[in-house]
Amino acid sequence: MTTSAIIGVSLLAGWLVGCLFLVLSYWRAGPIWIERHSLKFKVAGRQARCSGAIGEMAILGYCALLLWLVDSLTPTWSFIDIIARHPWAALGALLFTSAIAAFHTVRAAEHPDPATKKRLRQTYAIYAIYSALLFAGGIILIYTIVTQFWFDTVSFMRDGNEILARVKAGAATGEARGAYEAVEFGFVDAMQLLKRAEDQMSPVFIFAIAIFVINLLILYTPLRGLFLTDAVFITNVGTLVAIAAVGAAGAIVYVVSYSAFLDDFLDLLVSLPRGLIAADLLYIRRFGEIVLALDDQRSLVGFITKMSNEWGGLTAVVGIVQAAASQLARKPEIASSLGVISLDSANDEAGADPQKAQTQ
């Protein structure tokens, strides 16, 4: 069995185990969780609802799919390799997530009725296993992205130094043709290396896209009913996390790898003996094109433009859509906070108090 197949089977097994404990927790809760966690929707104009377990199964499956996708884009180590290499850290992460789940269990199980409180404690004790799997998967996902990102950064710097060394060696021969070939091949290698910087950002972009998409699902699908707290606040926090992740990763790539390598390459080209370059008019023209192309890409605008291709561009589009959706979802809440009363609510009040209706 291939590594990809093993990873797929492992994620499927984890999803099935999580779904098992999820269903058991909803079964144990009974009618208590109908109001707390249910998917509300309309069928033929009538209000309907179903168990929130369906929505939480979908969220767990979504997270497993995201982990599989990111893992496929991080070829250095799979998450299974990470667990095998760092078993104690993996155990610590599991204990940490279990502690968070246990804390949530104690806090969420509070209820004035002793019988209901007991049932809630039993429910959340089962649900805690599902929560621990979900949080542990999130920690593994982030650790996988960070590990691959660090490996790519080190690899970029090493390969960049090798390219510069080859150009220096070609110029050291003192022959015009040898210097020209070294510069030309070095430029091609540099373009390929810069493309790797774009690929290095792909897992981070996918992570951000996943957050934006789940935010949209929370805002505009029945999944919103799963959250006891403000769904808009949750999506805003998720948006900030995604933006911070992309911004931090982009800054590291630009400062440590991308811009530093181009600065060194341009300094090397400028320091080459003019006599070697001026030996042929074609060499001069091509040398100028290479220097201008590298200088154009060195700027922050050039870096952002390069990162905006493929996953980067899709991230920007989905992020804008999600930001606009959050503002639209917030408008009713703002209106409510300003004291604006809807027509339906006014009618309800009028029906409850005829004298007040006449006054209005």
pLDDT for 212-265, tens place per residue? 888 888 777 777 777 655 556 666 677 777 788 888 888 888 888 888 899 999
Give CA–CA dist 55/223, Å, rounded.
Answer: 6
Q: What is the pTM of this model?
A: 0.74
pLDDT digits (tens, 9 = 90+) for 271-321: 877 776 666 677 788 888 888 888 888 888 778 877 777 778 888 888 888
Question: CA 70 to CA 283: how far, in whole Å?
Answer: 44
Q: How confident is the model at residue 162 (pLDDT cuts 50, 70, 90)?
A: very high
Q: Which residue type, as a one-letter code, is found at position 183?
A: V
Instruction: Check if the beta carbon of residue 53 is closer than 8 Å to that of residue 26.
Output: yes
CA atoms within 13 A on the CB side of 242: 26
Rounded to an integer, the average pLDDT of 116-129 is 82
Distance of CA 249 to the CA centre of its chain: 11
From residue 222, alpha-carbon distances to 3, 52, 122, 215, 287 in Å are 36, 9, 26, 12, 60
Parse the chain into domains and list their residue ranges: 3-339
68-92 tens-digit pLDDT: 888 887 776 677 777 777 778 777 7
Instruction: Report the C-alpha gap between 277 and 268 in whole angstroms.
Output: 13
> In this structure, how many other beta carbons lie within 10 angstroms of the beta carbon of residue 45?
5
Question: For residues 160 and 183, what is the distance between their CA atoms, to the nearest angstrom?
Answer: 14
Counting every residue written for the chain, the total comes to: 360
Tokens of 150: 């660090």
